[in-house]
Structure 1
Amino acid sequence: MKKRTGYRIGAVLLSVLLFIGLFSPGNMKASAAFEVNAAAAVLIDAETGQVLYEKNSDQQLGVASMSKMMTEYLLLEAVKEGKISLDDTYQVSDYVYTVSQDRSLSNVPLRADETYKIQELYEAMTIYSANAATIAIAEKISGSEAEFVKLMNEKAKELGLEKVKFVNSTGLNNKDLKGNHSTGAEMDENMMSGRDVATLAYRLVNDYPEVLETAGIPKKKFREGTDDEISMENWNWMLPSLVFAYEGMTGLKTGTTDFAGYCFTGTVERNGQKLIAVVMDATSESGEGTYNARFIEMKKLMDYGFTQFEPKEIVAAGSAVKGTETVPVQKGKEKEVNLQAASSLSILVPKASEANYKTKVTLNSSDLNENGELTAPVKKDKVVGFVSVQDDKGQVVPFLKEAGQTNVQTAENVEKANWFVLSMRAVGGGISNGWNWVVDKVTGWF
């Protein structure tokens, strides 16, 4: 009996200890840690490219129809450069016709040898993720999908994407292209890292913000009023009026294949604050991949961005950057030139944070001589470096590659000094050096 009582007392003590352990400050903090159920996830400030959250962001994964963001980029670039117009027409090829008839894929059916406007194909691709319409756009721009894929990979390098492999314009598995794949193996798919997907989205919405006018359309009819009319509901169910409607949702692109899982790149704006978030191979709490899971995990990311961060200006446009207010000038009328920030630099910081952020200026070595000087003449507004931000622990605030960079430039002109001034400086320098030698010598005697 005493033995059983001892067991009971021990069990009670153990329970108390476990309770205390579970609810100690350290474990409460850990249990409240932010976690996204996805193979990879990224959250960034859409205006600066500041990275607010990353999970497994450097691993190359299947990207599915999020690939179409590159097709959108190249189309809008071609329109801007006058190489193509959205009013141009396209005549359906046998390849595009065959793919368009597969309704197990996301498609609007296209008629053989029919002519379609690029505008309606673009809308079908961007709203409904129509695969045959995407291939049609690729053929219109480059003549063939194979040539367009080369262009996709070239543009990826130009944009600084590092872990990318495009084998088709759509993001489908090559096996779904009805034997027409010309790049990669039969079972290949497009692959990117989460950081590269975020970078592509960042460049797309900043270089061509008009993409959101189309990507943000919840529903539209393709070829309305004709025998080919078909209702297109945006696969981004977080847009207003759709089932997972999220306040401020503006775009951008979903993607799903067996290989890639359930993926989504979302863009949102509230009270002037814009975010871009990426989830790749999203799952439910139980680990099951579903359409709903990608929107639930996306909501987590966006809620985190809006509730946990607030903007803080670090450097004002036109102001000097503390610690690097000037840079010396060789052979100039003035011996140095003032520097200033070309634009303001703001970051998102944790709310109620008391951290002190410091700036660091990195000067362009190519503009400086071996003594760290600019050489006159120097023109006003010459970009000579950039500003980065560090927290009070010396950690650099992370940004996407080449994003969020505020340039440092010269604040005035510095003309080259004439030969007389340069001669006097040389003489003065010689006298100064000579006098210093005399002083050092005489001091040594005593």
Structure 2
Amino acid sequence: MSNTPFSEGIQSGRLKPAELTENFGDIHPRFDEHEALVAADRCYFCHDAPCMTACPTDIDIPLFIRQIATGTPEAAAKTIFSQNILGGMCARVCPTETLCEEVCVREVAEGKPVEIGRLQRFATDKLVETGEHPFERAEATGKKIAVVGAGPAGLSAAHRLAGYGHDVTVFDARSKAGGLNEFGIAAYKSVDSFAEREVDWLLKIGGITVETGKKLGDGLSLAFLQADYDAVFLGIGLGGVNALGVDGEDKDGVDDAVDFIADLRQAKDLGDLPIGRDVVVIGGGMTAVDAAVQAKLLGALNVSLVYRRGKDRMNASEFEQDLAASKGVRIITNASPKAVIGNGAVREIEFEYTDDDLKPTGQTVCLPADQVFKAIGQTLEGDGLPELERGKIKVDGTGRTSVDGIWAGGDCATGGDDLTVTAVAEGRDAAEDINAALSA
């Protein structure tokens, strides 16, 4: 993140420690025992439950809620983890309001769904906090699998493969495992180092070795992995960030939103993080909302989120949009960046209004800005990858790529919709296919 002397409006310590602690508290605190029982009692335990169909990982939602209702949350957690080993994080970050809870019979009939996400968190937290791992590793097979990328897809694949008795080595470019869960989501969605603790718990299955600081294409080649391992799974995510493509984009104070979020997630003291007085975030997805909300929570006076299309076309869910508005973020739609203005550092950014077809209207507006965050999409990085399609690794329904012995899943592959829960499902399903292939 830029920390230049030209950007005089960017400074740390805008808020007192107590204010920061309150601002970055858990957005959805966990149910206590009584709250969980009351919430579980609202479930109809539907046959052919629509919530199950809406869950990308096919969790048996009525079963785990019934298990909570009967006082066995650890059993509920095992039901969840058998389909989604990262069910604890997914309970925190899944857009349940557009997945399982949107189709809940209670939502359709009454406008208030069973709080499936919070019930899932209640159960999974209970089991993780015991320190016990509910799955045992099968007898060693002697097969070795390389997983590149320690994000949700890679960790899901690694756990499933290790459970079958294979030896798995997970390579990741960063200093610690976790991927998006560790570096890419808002801090108030995952407090108390949960992402790191969840990884430690997952690794208790055994048979998984994690090697950090290893990036594909930088001392780690697919040719080497293919020669040394029986199978390879790629869960490398999207490491590049799209450029605005406008004049002045290289000015000080213009940064990538993903870097800002990663810096915030790894900060030991939020009071040390510099933030502008007038912050503009460009984009309409979850990353844009996370950056905008957290800029406000760090003490920015004015935060504007600007998106080139209409509000109904934003990738961020309606809940996330409402959250941003409730925190004081101004959402401006149908406006496309035209120029970054300033002498060395950004002072304002010019936008041109567009119609619904992105055609410019000729009307412009300038927003004061001492800090601009770009959140207009990420791109795949890497040389010598399997066949690409629409900028991602082309895969079939089981995650197989165009190269024999190489599978892929998560954000880097064509199969998903850039959700943590979908990445988990793709890693799990690819692992099943890898195991079947190695067992044939």
Q: Under a length normalisation based on structure 2, what TM-score does the superposition of the two structures give?
A: 0.21
TM-score w.r.t. the length of structure 1 is 0.21
Between 1 and 2, higher relative CO (CA 8 Å, sep ≥ 6) is seen in 2
Q: Which has the larger radius of gyration?
A: 1
